[in-house]
Amino acid sequence: MDIGCLETVVANSAYVAARGSMDANAAQTMRDRKMRAKLKLPNISQCEHLKDQIELGFQSLCIKQPIGKRLFQQFLDDTEEFRPIVNLWKDAEDYNMAEENLRVQKAQRIINTYMESASKNFCSFLEEKAIMRVKEDAKNGHHDLFKESEQLLIAHLGRQALERYKESLFFLRFLQFKWLEAQTVTEEWFMDFRVLGKGGFGEVFASQMKATGKMYANKRLNKKRLKKRNGYEGAIVEKRILAKVHSRFIVLLAYAFQTKTDLCLVMTIMNGGDLRFHIYDVDLQNPGFSEERAAFYTAQIICGLEHLHQNRIIYRDLKPENVLLDDAGHVRLSDMGLAVELQEGQSKTKGYAGTPGFMAPELLKGDEYDWCVDYFTLGVTLYEMIAAKGPFRTRGEKVENKEVTRRILHDPATYSEKFSVCLKALCEGLLMKDPLKRLGFKNDNCSELKQQPWFKKMNWGRLEGGLLDPPFVPDARTVYAKDIDDVGAFSTIKGVVIDEADKEFYAEFASGNMPIPWQEEMIETGVFGELNTWGAKGSIPKDLCR
Ligand code: ADP
Ligand code: MG
Ligand code: MG
């Protein structure tokens, strides 16, 4: 065995062992005790001033932020008059997550407990009409059966409970967590494992947050390489967009920080490799996916695109290589480096961006365009999942970009017998050369696309909740990344000097912890539970005494 190969074997085994530590209990054993000890809540006198700095709107404070929601629910549970309400809230969430065959029974229990005026837990704020509708529909087990009740419940709590919550110890505890969240992270909080892939400006490593044990992907962007190759704009756009989106179908940004040499984006780790690898490199004799498998990935990609477009973001670089699998086999979109955000009031943009063979005709022609371009790239991606080749090339063909562009503009795609009738119709709808005729995002959603006959069997509600079993589960001991040697090194950058303006840019980039992912990490790895302790009944914990 040569040294390079040995290096890969050693790196792989450390990485596979760390990867096994994804669930909370195992993550605990992987933690670095010294770093974990640094995660301590401050005394309330140190952080009380934060209440004048943080956002105090009900949605942000009590619903969107995971720790905020936990503490708000604990407050409700601790206050007698709110207890039935928080129980209804939790039961309705439990219903949404439940398997379909359990739902009817759960629905009936919720009705009996909270929706009958004789019950001691009756929730009188629910409007009669809403209760009637739930009772009528209870037998069909729909995933949005309690949607209206939940909306009424949230509105009621916003009116009745928010102000009292803000006077409570639970809110002070929240301020302590906000203080901890705002502490700057630096590279000493992370341990890099093996390299997962190579990007344009640096490598992406598997990386562990030492204090919690959680694994992430750390995308390093080399400062000098960025400067030399005008990468600042792209880097800040990628960061801003990743920080803005919250979807289980898009990689999520948890931390942005800098080291002496690099800017670092710490994101959801996707251990299962990219779709390109799975299309071509798993079964060399028989590349491509079954329609069923392709439908699952396509549906998840559509959910990711829908979220981007609802946030006015055009992705521009959808292709199999940028769709990554996680441990369970769910996929997320990654690599937002070419994405662009339409400003309020702006409806189109211009500019050549994307990957040859994928770019939409209107973009290639230099016209103005909007999100429609992403449904063309979706068509190319779906076609490739089935045919194991792009619609505008023959397999193995060496062809100039100019010729590919000509074909995209003028030639129709052809479909082998691998495509069923419904699938062919869908591909044709996505590959429409005229963006106005193309399937896609209309009236702020993708409903029309989701209702295409090819998706007849898809349960979109369960898919969107992350509740469908993926058609393929990556092997937990396989490393779906190139051997270390094959990743390839970067050349050294000479003649670049970093000045004050650069440093200002780095500071803007390195904004630290992203609140929602940070809070999720604390909960998921058990750290929140360890820190959120209370004194004996009736006594105020020492750290909350001013
Ligand atoms: P660039 O924008 O420079 O192309 P990418 O974001 O595509 O960089 O990352 C480069 C490579 O690193 C990817 O092709 C993939 O192999 C790997 N990679 C990127 N993000 C992740 C992630 N979140 N999890 C696992 N691997 C990743
Ligand atoms: Mg890339
Ligand atoms: Mg990129």
pLDDT in tens, 249-283: 999 999 999 999 999 999 999 999 999 999 998 88
Comparing CA positions, the residue from 211, 167, 238, 208 lying closest to residue 35 is 211
Q: For residue 203, what are the CA distances in angstroms to 169, 213, 227, 264?
A: 45, 21, 16, 10
334 lines ligand 1 (CB under 6 A): yes
251 lines ligand 1 (CB under 6 A): yes
Secondary structure of 475-514 as H, E, C letters: CCCCCCCCCHHHHCCCCCCCCCCCCHHHHHHHHHHCCEEC
Q: Summarize the confidence of residues 461-478 as an average pLDDT.
A: 91
CA distance 271 to 131: 45
CA distance 137 to 375: 35
Question: Which residue's CA is minimally distant from atom 8 of ligand 1?
Answer: 199
What was the pLDDT predicted at 338? 93
**Residue 516 pLDDT greater than 90, yes or no:** yes
What was the pLDDT predicted at 307? 98
Q: Which residue has the higher pLDDT, 379 or 397?
A: 379
Residue 168: count other Cβ atoms within 10 Å of its Cβ: 17
**Residue 24 pLDDT greater than 60, yes or no:** no
Comparing CA positions, the residue from 372, 256, 249 lying closest to residue 322 is 249
At 200-213, the pLDDT tens digits run 899 999 999 999 99
- Four-CA torsion 501, 233, 243, 20, nearest 10 degrees: -100
Percent of the chain scored above 90 by pLDDT? 80
Query: How many Cα atoms are found within 13 Å in the side-chain-facing hemisphere of 118?
Result: 1
Mean pLDDT, rounded, of the chain: 93
pTM of the entire predicted model? 0.90
At 406-427, the pLDDT tens digits run 999 999 999 999 999 999 999 9
Q: Quick check: 425 and 452 in contact, CB under 8 A?
A: yes
The pair of three-digit structure tokens given for residue 539, joined into one six-digit string: 């006594």
What was the pLDDT predicted at 23? 58
Q: Quick check: 546 and 45 in contact, CB under 8 A?
A: yes
Q: Which residue has the higher pLDDT, 235 or 546?
A: 235
**Residue 22 pLDDT greater than 60, yes or no:** no
Mutation to probe ligand 1, out of 205, 208, 276, 335 (largest number of atoms < 8 A from CB)? 335
Q: Compute the distance from residue 136 Cα to the ligand 2 centre, in Å.
A: 50
Q: Compute the distance from residue 184 Cα to the ligand 3 centre, in Å.
A: 26
Q: Which residue has the higher pLDDT, 2 or 76?
A: 76
Looking at the CA of residue 321, tell me the nearest atom of ligand 1: 14
CB-count burial class (<10 Å; 0-12, 13-18, 19+) for 284: exposed
Q: Quick check: 258 and 245 in contact, CB under 8 A?
A: no
Own/partner pairs, 98-101, CB within 8 angstroms, 24+ separation: 99/467, 100/141, 100/462
Q: Which of 262, 274, 317, 335 is catalytic?
A: 317
Q: Give the angle 252-502-239 at the CA atoms, nearest 5°.
A: 10
- Lookup result for tokens 């997320």: 332
**Phi, psi dihedrals of residue 326, rounded to the nearest 5°:** -95, -175
User: Comparing 29-33, 122-126, 253-257, 323-327, which segment has the lowest mean pLDDT?
Assistant: 29-33
Quick one: pLDDT band at residue 507, thresholds 50, 70, 90?
A: very high
**Residue 389 pLDDT greater than 80, yes or no:** yes
320 lines ligand 1 (CB under 6 A): no
Q: Summarize the confidence of residues 496-504 as an average pLDDT.
A: 94
Mutation to probe ligand 1, out of 219, 333, 338 (largest number of atoms < 8 A from CB)? 219
Percent of the chain scored above 70 by pLDDT? 97
What was the pLDDT predicted at 155? 96
What was the pLDDT predicted at 28? 67
197 lines ligand 1 (CB under 6 A): yes
Q: In residues, how long is the chain? A: 546
Quick one: pLDDT band at residue 539, thresholds 50, 70, 90?
A: confident
CB-count burial class (<10 Å; 0-12, 13-18, 19+) for 532: buried
At 294-319, the pLDDT tens digits run 999 999 999 999 999 999 999 999 99
Q: For residue 159, what are the CA distances in angstroms to 51, 79, 150, 174?
A: 20, 16, 14, 20
Label the pairing between strands 215-222 and 262-268: antiparallel
DSSP 59: I
204 lines ligand 1 (CB under 6 A): yes
Q: In the structure, how many helices (H) and strands (E) does the chain have?
A: 26, 10
Q: Which residue has the higher pLDDT, 441 or 536?
A: 441
Q: Quick check: 281 and 29 in contact, CB under 8 A?
A: no
Question: Which residue's CA is minimally distant from atom 1 of ligand 1?
Answer: 199
Q: Summarize the confidence of residues 215-243 as an average pLDDT.
A: 94
Catalytic site includes residue 144:
no
Question: Which residue's CA is minimally distant from atom 6 of ligand 1?
Answer: 335
Helix (H, G, I), strand (E, B) or coil at 422: helix
